[in-house]
Structure 1
Amino acid sequence: MKRRERTRQLIELGGLVAKAGLIELTEDDRAIIFGLLVSAAATLQSGERDQAITLWRRRGKRAFEETDG
């Protein structure tokens, strides 16, 4: 069951990458997409963590409302 849950999680996360438009915007360059994620992870490990989380959460909620609404 854990394998199935992990597979579902990975598919959902890939869907978010697609929904954000990163595939088209980077011309499907996985090094760029990975670099963006590594950069975000570095921000989450920095003193800017709380500010970044607040900002990204707001933007994400707005984007979901715009695409799902």
Structure 2
Amino acid sequence: MLPFRTKHKTSATLKLRHLIVKVGIVELTVDDRTTIYGAMLWMADKLRSDERDKALALRAAKGKQAFAESIDRGHLTRGRCLEPI
């Protein structure tokens, strides 16, 4: 049996992977890991900048709206993806 932290980390990783696949990043980049990694680095740089608060607010609002729309269309349930990581 895996220790709790290892199980939690695995669970968090799977949730993040599901979100990346769900929004179409894998398909849009033809699963090009360097492109996906580059996009994540760009996002991390933005969150380390003086624009952090604005970037967080904009992305959180967009994510909240997208989750709500996916739930309304029945494409997503309130469950695994919506739990805090």
Q: Do both share a fold (TM > 0.5)?
A: yes
Gaps (5+ residues) in structure 1?
none
- TM-score of the aligned structures, taking structure 2 as reference length: 0.78
Q: How many angstroms does 1:16 deviate by?
A: 0.8
Aligned to 1:36: 39
Q: Which runs of 5+ in 2 are unaligned?
A: 73-85
Q: CA deviation at 1:66?
A: 1.4
Structure 1 outlier segments of 4+, above 2 Å: none
Structure exhibiting the larger radius of gyration computed from Cα positions = 2
Aligned residues: 69
- TM-score normalized by structure 1? 0.95
Higher-RCO chain (CA-CA 8 Å, sequence separation at least 6): 2
Q: How does 1:1-69 map to 2 (within 5 A)?
A: 1-69=4-72
